[in-house]
């Protein structure tokens, strides 16, 4: 075996335990009551079944920050197609894939040297945005009001990649917004309370390819992190790898993939909107010494002009806002910039806006 590049090796306290238990208790929630309750305007009609579903969603958000959904209505065929196209894309030579490599100007596309908390991840990725173009601040300077546009880069091969990805993205957006309605109801809000924040969304989808790794005891596919957006909807193949830090005891537990389920997790934006009622949770990706793994998360992100802050309805004198408002576009631009340079300090996080 050749020498492993030290850039990949985790500090001893962050190295994975290979004899990890698969998590008991990460809720698996059946969304069929939601599908049955929708009227011809696609609005949710209240019923005992919906009340029960909302309770389960609220409990999962509070206790885990993660849950899986089944009978979700997203077509399996679209998911199978994106997986097939992803496999064909990543099977190409590095030279071919690098034709659509992202950089500080073209921030979407292929990349193979991503770092999480300044340690290199054992993975390759391909990123694309929902809206084309996606509007974003041109700089991280708070005073600079100039807006720039992000465009996707599409490879020549596979030829059906663009169409397949855009179709899949449409289904993910629909599912994510319905889940946001259930989360809103669980917080005592109107179902569509969050929808206005996503009018000019900055949402995007990533394909993660984790090759087999000779040292899964030293290296992670993706280091520990929390998701910065509102909601993540993750699909994965049959190879497990996702680990969640359990809130009750801080232990890392493996999420067992349910066939055709989506794994949902709360992002930092919901944590701020809910004033810490719901919290985003750290997670990471373990590797396999024999099998490659493919996953494809959809990240629901608000519009660039959104000021993220605790919602008025969820704060009062007894429960004052715990965060100062921050501009989502500037926050996102700052994080994207860090993808192309190794930082001496931790990347921008919501705790930087916490009111002490």
Q: From residue 158, how far is each of 92, 167, 239, 294, 354 by CA, in Å?
A: 10, 15, 23, 17, 45
Q: In 33-142, at which residue ranges do the beta strands (DSSP E only) sit?
A: 66-70, 109-111, 115-116, 119-120, 124-129, 134-137
pLDDT at 155: 97
Confirm if 328 and 267 have CB atoms less than 8 A apart: no
Average pLDDT over residues 97-124: 93
| Rounded-to-integer distance, Cα 254 and Cα 244, Å | 6
Residues 6+ apart with CB under 8 A from 276: 322
Question: Mean pLDDT, the chain, as a whole number?
Answer: 92
Q: How many residues does the chain have?
A: 356
pLDDT at 22: 64
What tens digit of pLDDT does each residue of 125-167 get? 999 999 999 999 998 888 899 999 999 999 999 999 999 999 9
Residues 6+ apart with CB under 8 A from 321: 275, 309, 310, 315, 355
Lowest model confidence (mean pLDDT) among 65-74, 149-158, 334-343? 334-343
Confirm if 173 and 298 have CB atoms less than 8 A apart: yes
What tens digit of pLDDT does each residue of 270-326 get? 999 999 999 999 999 999 999 999 999 999 999 999 999 999 999 999 999 999 999
Q: From residue 164, how far is each of 22, 77, 109, 217 by CA, in Å?
A: 32, 10, 15, 35
What tens digit of pLDDT does each residue of 235-283 get? 999 998 999 999 988 889 889 888 899 999 999 999 999 999 999 999 9
What tens digit of pLDDT does each residue of 74-89 get? 999 999 999 999 999 9
What tens digit of pLDDT does each residue of 187-209 get? 999 999 999 999 999 999 999 99
pLDDT at 1: 37
pLDDT at 4: 84
Lowest model confidence (mean pLDDT) among 1-5, 113-117, 122-126? 1-5
pLDDT at 86: 96
Q: Which uninterrupted H or E stretch holds 243?
A: strand 242-245
Q: Which DSSP string do the residues of 258-314 spell out, in sequence order?
A: PTT-EEEEE-HHHHHHTTTSS----EEE---SS--EEEEEEEE--BTT-EE---GGG
Pairing of strands 134-137, 115-116: unpaired
pLDDT at 339: 57
Q: Is the pLDDT of residue 347 over 80?
A: no
pLDDT at 3: 72
pLDDT at 45: 85
Half-sphere exposure of 147 (CA within 13 A, CB side): 9
Confirm if 78 and 175 have CB atoms less than 8 A apart: no
In this prediction, residue 20 has a pLDDT band, given cuts at 50, 70 and 90, of low
Supply 242's token pair: 């996702």
């Amino acid at each position: 075996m050749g020498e492993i590049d030290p850039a990949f090796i985790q500090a001893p306290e962050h190295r994975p335990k290979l004899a990890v238990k698969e998590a008991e208790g990460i809720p698996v929630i059946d969304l069929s009551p939601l599908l049955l309750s929708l009227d011809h305007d696609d609005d949710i009609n209240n019923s005992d079944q919906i009340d029960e579903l909302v309770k389960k969603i609220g409990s999962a958000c509070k206790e885990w920050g993660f849950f899986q959904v089944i009978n979700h209505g997203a077509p399996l065929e679209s998911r199978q197609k994106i997986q097939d196209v992803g496999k064909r894309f990543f099977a190409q030579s590095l030279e071919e894939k690098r034709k659509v490599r992202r950089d500080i100007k073209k921030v979407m596309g292929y990349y193979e040297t991503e770092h999480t908390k300044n340690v290199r991840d054992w993975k390759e990725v391909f990123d694309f945005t929902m809206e084309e173009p996606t509007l974003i601040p041109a700089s991280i300077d708070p005073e600079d009001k100039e807006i720039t546009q992000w465009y996707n880069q599409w490879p020549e091969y596979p030829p059906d990649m663009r169409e397949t990805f855009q179709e899949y993205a449409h289904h993910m957006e629909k599912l994510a917004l319905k889940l946001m309605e259930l989360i809103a109801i669980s917080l005592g809000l109107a179902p569509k309370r969050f929808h206005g924040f996503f009018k000019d969304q900055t949402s995007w989808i990533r394909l993660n390819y984790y090759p087999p790794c000779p040292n899964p005891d030293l290296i992670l596919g993706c280091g520990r992190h929390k998701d910065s957006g509102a909601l993540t909807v993750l699909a994965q193949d049959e190879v497990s790898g996702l680990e969640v830090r359990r809130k009750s005891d801080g232990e890392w537990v493996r999420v067992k993939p349910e066939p055709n389920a989506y794994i949902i997790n709360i992002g930092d934006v919901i944590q701020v909107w809910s004033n810490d009622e719901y919290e985003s949770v750290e997670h990471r990706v373990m590797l396999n010494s024999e099998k490659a793994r493919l996953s494809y998360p959809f990240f629901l992100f608000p519009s660039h002009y959104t000021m993220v802050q605790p919602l008025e309805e969820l704060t009062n004198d007894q429960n004052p806002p715990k965060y100062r408002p921050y501009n989502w576009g500037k926050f996102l631009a700052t994080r994207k910039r860090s993808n192309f340079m190794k930082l001496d300090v931790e990347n921008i996080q919501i705790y930087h806006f916490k009111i002490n």
